[in-house]
Amino acid sequence: MTRRVPILAAAIGLIGLALALACGTGEAEKPPGAEAELRDERLLVFAVAYPLQYFAERIGGDAVVVRFPIPAGIDPAQWSPSAEIVAEYQAADLVLLNGGGYAQWLKRASLPRRRLVDTSAGFPERRLRESGGVEHAHGPEGEHAHAGVAPMTWIDPELAIAQARAITDALIAVRPSAAERFESGFAALERDLRALEHSFAVAAQELGGAPLFFSHPVYPYFIRRYGLNARSLHWEPHEVPTEAMWTDFRAALVEHPARWMLWEAPPEAASEALLESLGVRSRVFDPCAQPSESGDYLERMRRNVEEFETLGVNQPAVSGVQ
Compare residues 22 and 313 and give the one whose CB is closer to another protein: 22
Quick one: 71 or 208, whose CB is closer to another protein?
A: 71
* Residues 89 and 303 sit within 8 Å (Cβ to Cβ): no
From candidates 37, 73, 75, 114, binder to another protein by CB under 8 A: 114
Q: Report if residue 141 touches another protein, rule: CB under 8 A.
A: yes
CA nearest 181: which of 94, 65, 59, 45? Answer: 59
d(CA 172, CA 64): 12
The distance of Cα 143 from the centroid of its chain, to the nearest Å, equals 27
User: Is 176 among the residues that bind another protein (CB under 8 A)?
Assistant: no
* Sole binder of another protein in the list 34, 72, 137, 269 (CB under 8 A): 137
Q: How many residues touch another protein (CB under 8 A)?
A: 57
At 212 the three-state DSSP class reads: strand
Tell whether residue 125 is a contact of another protein (CB under 8 A): no
**Pairing relation of β-strands 135-137 and 143-145?**
antiparallel
CB 221 within 8 A of CB 128: yes
Specify the stretch interacting with another protein by CB under 8 A; choose among 100-108, 154-162, 176-184, 185-193: 100-108
Q: Residues 178 to 207: which contact another protein by CB under 8 A?
A: none
| Among positions 40, 41, 71, 83, the unique one binding another protein when judged by CB under 8 A | 83
User: Measured from the CB of residue 178, what is the shortest distance to another protein in angstroms?
Assistant: 22
Strands 260-263 and 211-214, by their bridges, are parallel
Q: How far apart are alpha carbons 170 and 176 in whole angstroms? A: 10
Minimum Å gap between C-beta 218 and another protein is 19
Q: For the segment 31-50, give every residue that binds another protein (CB under 8 A).
A: 32
User: For another protein, which residue of 72, 136, 254, 294 counts as binding (CB under 8 A)?
Assistant: 136
Other Cβ atoms less than 10 A from the Cβ of 161: the count is 20
Smallest gap from Cβ 79 to another protein, in A, equals: 10
Give me the sign of the Cα torsion angle 52, 54, 58, 64.
Answer: positive
User: Per CB under 8 A, does 11 bind another protein?
Assistant: yes
Paired residues of 66 in beta bridges:
45
Angle between helices 50-60 and 157-174 (to 10 degrees): 50
Q: How far apart are CA 221 and CA 130, in angstroms?
A: 11
Per CB under 8 A, the list member of 75, 84, 125, 243 interacting with another protein is 84
CB of 63 to another protein, least distance (A): 24
Alpha-carbon distance of 218 to 135, in angstroms, equals: 20
> Using the rule CB under 8 A, which residue among 38, 145, 251, 270 binds another protein?
145
Which positions touch another protein (CB under 8 A)?
1-5, 7-8, 10-12, 14-29, 32, 80, 82-84, 86-87, 90, 104-105, 107-114, 132-139, 141, 143-146
